[in-house]
Copies of this chain bind each other. A is one copy, B any other.
């Protein structure tokens, strides 16, 4: 009698999405709300794993590196809140400097210190930004390319992510900034916003496009200054 063959399905490759804990006095953080909504989702044959990072220089990167080791993703997209921006912002580059106007959630305020001592000045994102931007726009999600992720914890995480991936050329990674949710914008007169549902829809498209695109397409999306 033949032995029953064990059918072990190979586990699906994973996508790591990260969001941030609330910053300062804010009750919530739409970056985590949006990412959490996709935890466990299947997109283009991949399984999404969502993780929450601290709004802290240093510790955010320790958490990210631990998640990279554990999840072994083929694609990483870190997501952060950019209060005041109006569209999903696909960040082009992370730079090797922390320059904090205000303290982080642990009270640290580094000024003009490198994210990684001795690291290169910057790392480009490895996401197919233009293809992602166009795919989101086609679906009616406002999206743009951003030339600067700032010099705070978001840029810190983007630079640290790309530094961590420097020896893994086949893993794609990058950062997306999102606007306030309407609930947060209601407390900031004049500030633009997008509902978390719209952001979730945009991130789903972003992940699918990043997984399905080889070389990025070339359409202009720069700035003159």
Contacts and interface: CB of A to CB of B under 8 A. Distances in A.
Interface of A: 80-87, 92-93, 95-102, 109, 111-112, 120-124, 130, 136-145, 147-152, 154-155, 177, 179, 181-183, 185-195, 197-198, 216, 218-225
Given A112-B130, A140-B186, A99 B177 contact: no
Given A121-B124, A122-B121, A223-B101, A192 B189 contact: no
Given A111-B218, A147-B150, A141 B192 contact: no
A109 B194 CA distance: 33
Given A86-B86, A95-B93, A150-B222, A193 B195 contact: no
A220 B147 contact: no
Nearest to A187: B137
Given A121-B120, A198-B195, A185 B86 contact: yes
